Structure 1
Amino acid sequence: MSQSSPSYYHDLSIFSDWVEAAARQQVLFPMAMPGPTTQQRVREVLGFCEGDEAPFDVEVNQQWAKDGLVGEAISWSVGYGPRTEAWLLKPANATGPLPGVVALYEHGGFKYLGKEKIAIGPTDPPPFMHNWWDKYYGGRPFANALADEGFVVLIHDHFCGVADVFLKT
Structure 2
Amino acid sequence: MAAVMDDSSRMWITAVPPFGPDEIGVLLALDGESADSGEQAALRLLDRGHEGEEGVFYLLPFDLSARYTRTGDRLAVALVAPRAVLDEELVGAGGQLGEGADEWVTLLRRELVTDFEPVEQDGEKQAVLLIDHLGPVRTLDELFARFEAGDSGIAVLNAQ
Q: Per residue, is there more helix in 1 or in 2?
A: 1
Higher RCO by CA contacts (8 Å cutoff, separation 6 or greater)? 2
TM-score range, shorter chain: under 0.3
Normalized per residue, the structure richer in strand is: 2
TM-score, structure 1 as length reference:
0.27
Q: TM-score, normalised by structure 2?
A: 0.27
